[in-house]
């Protein structure tokens, strides 16, 4: 009988007390955490052992969380790794910058370590949930392979972040339906997500930019949410 390998979580946190606390709670939850304290150690550690999820402190020495988020998303080998940002900054502008660069979730200090564990579980769970029987979705020339976590348009691969992928998957599975921002936050993000509905708008905009055929296909329903139109008949 094969044994499923433990889920690897890379924690980049320069505060030793916070780092040790997260390491303890993640181990207790059954994860395999790897802890680094400098931003310059993050990418080498990812190259040595690809994590299933990265927890990034915003204010790391060497390279900060935003620089690292950009680097992770720019590398095809790491672009789909889910990222949770930790920060002591509570301003919406800081959250939006992180989300713009590809972070999938955002937690403001001080936080409960149990909340971090819950967010990690929710993000990982949503990465593997809701796949159809053949694990593929199609929308005109757009295809989504849920198992391989790939998106292609006319055979050309499009790189999406983990959360962008999940949002696209959800829209395709519910095309033709008007979906409220609150519903999207509940089903694509965790129910306890506190980043506000603005994050939905940020991710929709990024989908429209990365997949131009969706620019007109994802319709904004004023003061409510979004709808993915049924594809035009061939």
pLDDT per residue, tens digit, the chain (234 aa), is 334 567 899 999 999 999 999 999 999 999 999 999 999 999 999 988 889 999 999 889 999 998 999 898 888 778 778 899 998 766 566 667 777 777 888 888 888 999 999 989 888 876 555 444 457 888 889 999 887 788 999 989 999 988 899 899 989 888 888 888 888 888 887 655 555 678 899 999 999 999 999 999 999 998 889 999 987 665
For position 35, what pLDDT does the model report? 96
What pLDDT sits at residue 219? 94
Predicted pLDDT at 74: 81
What are the sequence ranges of the domains in the chain? Answer: 8-126, 136-228
pLDDT attached to residue 101: 76
What secondary structure does DSSP assign to the chain, as a single string?
---PPPPEEEEE-S-HHHHHHHHHHHHHTT-EEEEE-SGGGHHHHHHHS--SEEEEETT-SSS-HHHHHHHHHHSTTTTTS-EEEEES---HHHHHHHHHTT-SEEEESS--HHHHHHHHHHHHHHTSSS--TTSEEEETTEEEETTTTEEEETTEEE---HHHHHHHHHHHHTTTSEEEHHHHHHHTS-TT--S-THHHHHHHHHHHHHSGGGTTTEEEETTTEEEEPPPPP-
In the CATH scheme, what architecture does the domain 136-228 have? Orthogonal Bundle (1.10)
CATH architecture of 8-126: 3-Layer(aba) Sandwich (3.40)
């Amino acid at each position: 009988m094969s044994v499923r390998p433990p889920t690897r979580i890379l924690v980049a946190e320069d505060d030793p007390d916070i780092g040790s606390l997260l390491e303890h709670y993640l181990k207790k939850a059954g994860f395999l955490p790897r802890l680094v304290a400098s931003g310059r150690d993050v990418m080498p550690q990812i190259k040595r052992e690809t994590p299933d999820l990265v927890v990034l402190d915003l204010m790391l020495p060497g390279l900060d969380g935003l620089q690292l988020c950009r680097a992770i998303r720019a590398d095809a080998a790491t672009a789909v790794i889910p990222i949770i940002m930790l920060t002591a900054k509570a301003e919406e502008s800081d959250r939006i910058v992180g989300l713009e660069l590809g972070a999938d979730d955002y937690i403001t200090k001080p936080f409960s370590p149990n909340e971090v564990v819950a967010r990690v579980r929710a993000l990982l769970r949503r990465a593997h949930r809701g796949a159809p029987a053949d694990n593929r979705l199609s929308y005109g020339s757009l295809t989504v392979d849920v198992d391989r976590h790939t998106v292609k348009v006319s055979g050309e691969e499009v790189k999406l972040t983990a959360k962008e992928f999940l949002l696209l998957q959800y829209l395709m599975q519910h095309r033709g339906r008007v979906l409220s921002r609150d519903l999207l936050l509940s089903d694509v993000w965790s129910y306890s997500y506190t980043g506000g509905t603005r994050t939905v708008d940020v991710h929709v905009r990024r989908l429209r930019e990365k997949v131009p055929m969706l620019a007109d296909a994802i319709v904004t329903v004023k003061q409510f949410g979004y709808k993915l139109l049924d594809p035009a008949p061939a």
